[in-house]
Amino acid sequence: MTQTLEDVCTVIVDSEHKTAPAAESGTEFALSVGTPHVRNGRLLLSDAVAVDEETYREWTVRGVPAVGDLILTREAPVGDVGMIPAGVRICLRQRTVLLRPDSRKINGSFLLYLLASPQVQERMHSKGAGSTVPHLNIKDVRALLLGQLPSRGEQDAVAEVLVALDEKIALNEQHAETALELAGYLYERESAEHGRWSESALKDTAKWLSGGTPRTSEPSYWGGDIPWISAASLKTPWLYTSERSVTELGVQNGTRLVPKGAILFVVRGMSLTTEFRVGIAQREVAFGQDCKALIPHASIDPVTLFLAIRAQTPKILGMVDLAGHGTGRLVTERVANLRVRLPHGEATAGFAARAGALMHRAVAVTNENRTLADLRDTLLPQLLSGKLRVKDAVRTVEEVV
């Protein structure tokens, strides 16, 4: 029998509040979670605002979020979903819905993967279309068709396979972040040496390039195999793929290619109001006008320059101006005159080897994650539809986890 979302879980309407007053120091009680914090099956809570107990009580009158509950975004964007982990207390902002799975009817992790599946995502987006800002109303959320569900035991088995993949991906992400942090600490420690390190203006360390955007109405420019890096897609320090890609023809008509080892950073975008996004190309990539690219001079190691720029994040954020609609903007001349510390002489190769080994580890596990994510996305629809037997999926996952 075809099931709806309301058949298998309790749907709790989101808070009426859009933003939360930040708790004063010492009164933090919970985290305020909205649509920016729900991405790719997870809750990203590092920049969630802490609220006091009074705000928490006021915002959870309709329902108190609990471990294992799901949060579904119903506007900006539609259809992102994440599960509440243990060890955190949260309250919800507008445009989200709290889903409490009925454990007798559905495995919560299975429901999370089901909501993320292409078929259910398509249903949500079709319901959310038709207005200036796509959104799902509560009635549509409750009536969302999930299809015919497998037995509870089969749900458990499917969820176990997919969770194993996601746990491996999360572990790899932690390893990559740790390796990057260690490389940053190494830079801070060794760059303090005055004899073998010296300051240079950033403009004197590399060739500076501006990017561009091929005409989006021309299909022959897009959908190729060359990643196109934009302010929105520069979310990782290791630039290998992007949500959009261009063809060779697209490169010749409006954008620019840079080689492996080029350093790209955002100079215009809403993200600049809170963070400085900088990455190093792991292959040849193209990039948009909201980014700058630096091709280090032959005598300068790309990883070292990347770490030197990243170490200047507080100063760079202090240079950001606000353009229209809250968009941050970095004036190139200001960044170009920024002074960075770089090694010289024998110190150059030694630091490059030590820092490079850490970065290589981070890149390796990040590349492995791309393979794991592709495998998960391939298995997901087949497992949910029953086309692939769980034991066959387990065998495949055991080979890579």
Encode pLDDT of 34-92 as tens digits. 888 998 888 989 888 899 999 999 888 888 999 999 999 998 789 999 999 999 999 99
Q: What is the mean pLDDT of residues 377-396?
A: 84
Q: Where are the alpha helices (DSSP H) in 129-246?
A: 138-142, 152-190
Domain pair 2-149 / 197-343, same fold: yes
3.40.50.2000, 3.10.105.10, 3.90.220.20, 3.90.470.20: which CATH number matches 197-343?
3.90.220.20
Find all residues with CB under 8 Å of 175, minimum gap 6, and list them: 361, 362, 365
State percent of the chain over pLDDT 70: 97
Pair of tokens at residue 36: 């920016």
The closest of 84, 49, 79 to 64, measured between CA atoms, is: 84
Encode pLDDT of 276-301 as tens digits. 999 999 999 999 999 999 999 999 99
Mean pLDDT of the chain, nearest integer? 91
Encode pLDDT of 91-138 as tens digits. 998 889 999 999 999 999 999 999 999 889 999 989 887 667 788 888
Find all residues with CB under 8 Å of 250, minimum gap 6, and list them: 214, 218, 220, 221, 222, 224, 226, 228, 286
Q: CATH number of the domain at 2-149, please?
A: 3.90.220.20
The residues spanned by each domain of the chain are 2-149, 162-175+363-398, 197-343
Q: What is the mean pLDDT of residues 210-237?
A: 94
Neighbours of 174 (CB within 10 A): 11
Question: Which pTM value belongs to this model?
Answer: 0.82
- Residue scoring higher pLDDT (146 or 400): 146
- Residue 220 DSSP code: G
pLDDT at position 14, please? 67
pLDDT at position 393, please? 82
pLDDT at position 271, please? 84
